[in-house]
A and B are shown apart, each in its own frame.
Chain A
């Protein structure tokens, strides 16, 4: 099984505080990891480490091309949703219409991003990840702000991604849809 994410004895330090040490992690195709833990345990930092946006204080991180959905929307507010998603999709070579379809955003394609509701923006953020075509998905609280129907959609998208050989790391306080998740407890 090919490896999409590998942490070897990784330590993460933020603001002079050691969040975790000697963390070993291995994620292959089709696997999904649910990162849990109290606030400030380092869940988001772990995602940023996997994305290569943070350097580990010690140890080694190896990751396949990743897509990150963190708190930031990273879509141009004044653009219609389809164009804002399309700008990233053009870089990554993904399909905007499929991603909009998957999260039931097609009817909002011409609506400027700044007009989207909180929940719609959360879905748009997930659609950006789907349109990236990256094998490794890093999702920070993917279920937050989603209605019942959207959670089911998210589950289907995650399952499709895993079936296609992708891997997912998600930080979340609530249980996640989309099949079986391995769990990692931080800060215990």
Chain B
């Protein structure tokens, strides 16, 4: 069941709007040097953090299309009619969303890092933190999308909910992208793991509550 759901969500994402967060990510990375100025050393120092802010804002864009279309079109009802639990749907949506969000963002981080003048070592560290952090961001996005589906102004509300929840990831992710030692990286991995474990249950409960 879950592989079918993942395949469907990946297909739908690729057909509509999966490239938007990537473009947005690159846009933010492009805008930073304009705002900060052409000081290469300064840019290099803040580069990892800037890419993280870009990733975080890019994570807000897909929230609207993750759950709401399926709710409005009765797909969630049809699935639960067939005995598919909210948690199963949530797991499938998290995996599918990461597949169309994480890897493209990692690829986009290469030109993004070039724009900010990151050197090889800093780029490698940033890629590592993004690889660890994006599954957590994807899980948060699906959870927030489940919580806000069907509400008026759900997109803005989703942003308000997601950003504070993502702050721990941002702190440790950005810190690990800037330093060589492993402490922040381990903490970031711990936070991402915690979110990944909790999100399917929170999201599943929200999806069940949507039925009434």
Stretch at the interface among B49-57, B67-75, B94-102, B172-180: B67-75
Question: A78 contacts B77, CB within 8 Å?
Answer: no
Please tell me if A104 contacts chain B, counting CB pairs below 8 Å: no
B16–A88 contact, CB under 8 A? no
Assess whether A92 is interfacial by the CB under 8 Å rule: yes
Whether A87 contacts B8 in the complex (CB less than 8 A), given A53-B211, A54-B212, A74-B74, comes out as yes
A99 within 8 A of B: no
Chain A positions within 8 Å of B77 at CB level = 51, 53, 68, 70, 72, 74
**Complex: A81 Cα to B121 Cα, angstroms:** 51
Of A52, A88, A90, the residue contacting B78 (CB under 8 A) is A88
Is A54 touching B211 in the complex (CB atoms < 8 A)?
Answer: yes
| Size category of the binding interface on chain B | 10 to 19
Closest to B71 in A: A72
| B71-123, CB < 8 A from A | 72-75, 77-78, 80-82
Q: Which residues of A contact B74 (CB under 8 A)?
A: 70-74
Q: A16 CB to closest chain B CB, in angstroms?
A: 13
CA distance A6 to B10 in the complex (A): 39
Residues in B whose Cβ lies below 8 Å from that of A91: 1, 4, 82
User: In the complex, A52 Cα to B16 Cα: how many Å?
Assistant: 32
Quick check: is A170 within 8 A (CB to CB) of the other chain?
A: no
Q: Is the CB of A78 within 8 A of B15?
A: yes
Find residues 144-182 in chain A having any chain B CB closer than 8 Å to their own CB: none
Complex alpha-carbon distance, A139 and B52, angstroms: 50
Partner of B73, one of A52, A54, A72, A92: A72
Q: Mark A79-117, 1 if CB is under 8 A from B, else 0.
A: 000000001101110000000000000000000000000
Q: Are B72 and A92 in contact (CB under 8 A)?
A: no
Give the CA-CA distance A167 to B211 in the complex, in Å. 24
Interface residues of B in 1-40 (CB under 8 A from A): 1, 4, 8, 12, 15-16
Give Cα A152 to B25, complex, Å.
55
CB-contact partner of A52 in B1, B15, B81, under 8 A: B81
Residues of B within 8 A of A (CB): 1, 4, 8, 12, 15-16, 72-75, 77-78, 80-82, 211-212
> In the complex, given contacts A53-B81, A70-B77, what are 11 additional A-B residue pairs having Cβ atoms less than 8 angstroms apart?
A54-B211, A54-B212, A66-B81, A68-B77, A68-B78, A73-B73, A74-B73, A74-B74, A74-B75, A74-B78, A92-B82
